[in-house]
Amino acid sequence: MDTSSLLKTCGLPALWLLLLLSPAVFASYSIGVGIADSTGPTAEIAFMGYAKLDQKGSGLHLRTYARAFIIDDGTERFVFVSVDCGMIGNDIRQEVLRKLRGQFGDTYTEKNVMISGTHTHSSPGGFMLDMLFDLTAFGFMRETFNAIVHGITKSIERAHEAVVPGRIFIAHGQVLGVNINRSPQAYLNNPKSERDKYEHDVDKALTQIQFIGADDKPLGVINWFAVHPTSMNNTNHLVSSDNVGYASILFEKMMNNNATIGKGPFVAAFASSNLGDVSPNTRGPKCEFSGQNCSDQYTCPGKNEMCFASGPGKDMFDSTSIIAHKLYQESAKLWQNGETTEIVGPVRVVHRYVNMPEQSAEFYNETTGHVEEVHGCVPAMGYSFAAGTTDGPGSFAFEQGTTTSNPLWNAVRNLVAKPTAEDIRCQGAKPILLATGRIKLPYQWQPKIVSTQVAVIGNVVVAGVPGEFTTMSGRRLREAIKKVMNDTLNSETSVIVAGLCNTYSDYITTPEEYQIQRYEGASTIYGPHTLTIYLKQYQELMQAAVQRKELLPGPQPPELLHSNLISLVPPVLYDTPKWGRNFGDIIQQSRQVVWPGETITATFVAGHPRNNLMTDNTFLTVERLGDDEVWIPIATDADWETKFQWTRTSVILGSSEVTITWEIPQDITPGEYRIRHNGYYRYILGGVYPYYGTSDPFRVEVPIHNIRRHRYYG
C-alpha cells in the first residue's frame, strides 16, 4: 500500500507510524545551534531565587548564557532555548518573538519556540514583571530584562544562521551522588504502590540529545537532569550559572578545544527538568551552628539558628564544582561511548495558553474509590512558602508543613488582599498567606494564564512545563504522555520534562504531596489539583500533535512590559577615582612569583559595572606574554578560575574598586603573566567612557616534575 492509500485508509497517525518506522523515508533534519551572552548587571541588583533582599550582586563568578537549538524536518521547525536564569516570564518570551519577527517574519512564533530557564539562583532579578517575583529585587530592572532578551534572541539568530543538514541521537545515563529529595515527608505521602515502582525518591536519569552534522561534525548536545542549581547558596553575591552552567562550560571546552567560553561552534546545554523537590546539597539539612540534625519541621533549637542543607564540598564553590563535574563526566561518557538511538520521524509542535483557575479535570480518589470533578484555584501562596527550603531558609518564624492559619498574619494578609471563602475552600490544606490572584496593585502578582507546549520529534517528546514539577509529578506527566503516544502509535516513547518554560507559575506537586504543605505544596498556586489539570492538558496537547489537529491558541496572557512598572533601584549617577588616582590604576597586587594551585589577586580603581554590562566581552583577562612579546588572553571573567568582585568605597564620591582573583590551573604553561581589567566610568558632567588597567607582570613557575609529566603525556 502506498503512502497516499495508507493516509486515506488509516489517517494521519498511521502516516506518522510509517515515517517513524522507515528511516529511508525520513533520513535527516536541518539543525542549527547558537550561544549568546545573557549576563545582566553584576552589581547592586538583588538575585532572583532565594528572595533575600540583601542578596545583591557584587561581582561575577560565571557569565550566564542562552543556548539555542533548531530542529527542522522540512515542514515544521522547533526551537529549544536553555537560558542561565531563574525562570522565564511571558513578557521575556513575547519580547524575544517581537525581535525575531522583525528579522524572520513568521518563522518563529509562540507555537514553535520553547524557552527554558536553568533556574540558577545566582543571577540578577527584576525581569519577571509579575510583582511577587520582582518584589525582592526592588521592582522591574530594565537592564536585566534587556540582557536576557538579547541573549535569547541572539542565540536563536546564531542558530538560524548555522542551520545545516544533520542527524539526531538520544542516549540515557545515570548520575549518582548529586541530588537528594529536600521534602521526603511529602514524597512519602504518595501511594506506596506508586513509590515502589522507583528505586529512588528523586530521578537519577540523565537524558541526552546529540546533534551531529551530515558530515559527522559534532554540533551540539542537550542534557536534561533533575537538580536545583542551588549549590551556590544565599550568602553568595557573585553572579553565577551554578552547577548546571559550569557543566555546560566543561562540555563546551572539551568539544571546542578550550576556545574562549561562549565563542566556540559546539553548544552544550544542561537544561532543567522536574527539579521541584530536588536539591544538590547532598549532605542534607543540618542546624547552622550546632551541626545537629534539624527537627521534622526543619527547625533548630538555637536562637536564630537556621536549618539548611549543604555539600558535598567544603564550601559552595567546591560543591558547585563537584556537582558540575559529575554531570559533565556522565554526559561526556554518553557522548563518547554511550549506546545511542537515532531519532527519526516528523517534527510536530503544539502550544496552547490555559487559564488555570477556569479549568476542571477528573480525579480518582483512592480513599473514596470514586472519580471526582476537580477545579483550579485563583493563585495563592501558603504559609510554608515563607519558610523557604533547606536550600535557602526564609524569614520570620514560619515553618514548613504549616496547615493552620494564624489570626495575626491573616490580618496582615487582608490589608493587602483578602481571599474569598471560595479561595479558602478551593486551596484546601493550604492556609493562604498571600492571596496573590486577588492583588491588583500595582499590577499582576502571579499569572493565571500559562503556556503549555509539547514538541514531538519522531518518538521523542519534549514537554515544556510552566513551572517546577516535583519528582513524582514529573513521573506522572511522563506516564500520561507515554500513554497517549503508545496507545496511538504502539511505539516506544521517550518523554522529556523540560522545566520552567515560557511562563513561571511556581511549583506543581502531586495532590498527595500538597496535603503535607511543605514549601513546594505551599507554592503550588492553583490548588491541590494543579497537577491533575496539567495531566489532562498535556494529554490533549499530545493527542493534537499525533493527530495533526490544530488547537485554538487559548486566552492571550496580559503583557505587562508597557504598564507603569515600578523600579526602586537607583541609577548610577557618576563615578570618580580616588584622589590622585585614575581609573584602571593598580592599587594592590599579589607577589611576583606564583605556582600552580595558588591564587593571585589584583585590585584596581574602577567605575561601576552597570555602566556597561560587557555583553559578549569581559571585565577581565588573564594574559600570557607570547614568544613575539605580544600579550595573549588565556582566561576571561567567564572562566571558573577567575572572580570579579566590585566594592563601592564611597557612595558620596562614587568611588569604586574591583578585585580580580585568578586561581592558577595545575596544567598551566610556565611564563610571564598579567591581569587586565576592562571597564567604563560615568563622568559627573555626562557621558560613559572606557578605561583599562593592567597589573604588573608576574611569573608562573612550574615544578620540574610537572614539566616532565606534561612532556611525557604530550
Q: Is-contact 268 298, C-beta < 8 A? A: no
CB 163 within 8 A of CB 103: no
Neighbours of 467 (CB within 10 A): 24
Q: What are phi and psi of 137, to 5 degrees?
A: -100, 15
**What residue has cell string 581589567?**
677
Q: Provide the angle, in degrees to the nearest 10, between the axes of the packed helices 530-547 and 471-489.
A: 30
SS3 content of the chain, % helix, strand, coil (to 5): 25, 30, 45
Return the CA Rg of the chain.
26
Cα separation of 641 and 646, whole Å? 17
CA distance 102 to 107: 10
Cβ neighbours of residue 22 closer than 8 Å, sequence gap 6 or more: none
Q: Are 148 and 127 in contact (CB under 8 A)?
A: yes
Q: Does the CA dihedral 703-705-710-714 come out positive or negative? A: positive
Q: Are 69 and 204 in contact (CB under 8 A)?
A: no
The residue count of the chain comes to 714
Active site includes 82?
no
C-alpha cell at 21: 518506522
d(CA 347, CA 455): 7
Matching residue, cell 521534622 = 296
Residue 332 backbone dihedrals phi, psi, to 5 degrees: -65, -40
Instruction: Report residue 643: phi and psi, to 5°.
Output: -140, 140
Do the Cβ atoms of 126 and 138 come closer than 8 Å?
A: yes
Question: Dihedral through CA 280, CA 283, CA 285, CA 286, nearest 10?
Answer: -150
**Which of 248, 279, 505, 695 is an active site residue?**
279
Would you say 209 and 273 are in contact if contact means Cβ atoms under 8 Å apart? no
Q: What grid cell was written down for 338?
A: 554511550
What is the amino acid identity at position 187?
Y
Contact predicate 505/87, CB 8 Å:
no
* Residue whose C-alpha cell reads 496573590 in the numeric block: 436
Per DSSP, the residues of 408-455 read: HHHHHHHHH-PPPHHHHHHHTT--EEE-GGG--SSS-SS-SEEEEEEE
The rounded distance, in Å, linking the Cα atoms of 101 and 95 is 10
Q: Which three cell numbers stand for residue 22?
A: 522507515
Q: Write the CA distances from 409 to 377, 430, 444, integer angstroms.
A: 21, 14, 22
Q: For residues 650 and 577, what is the distance between their CA atoms, to the nearest angstrom?
A: 10
Report yes or no: 247 and 270 within 8 Å, Cβ to Cβ. Answer: yes
Instruction: List active site positions.
Output: 279
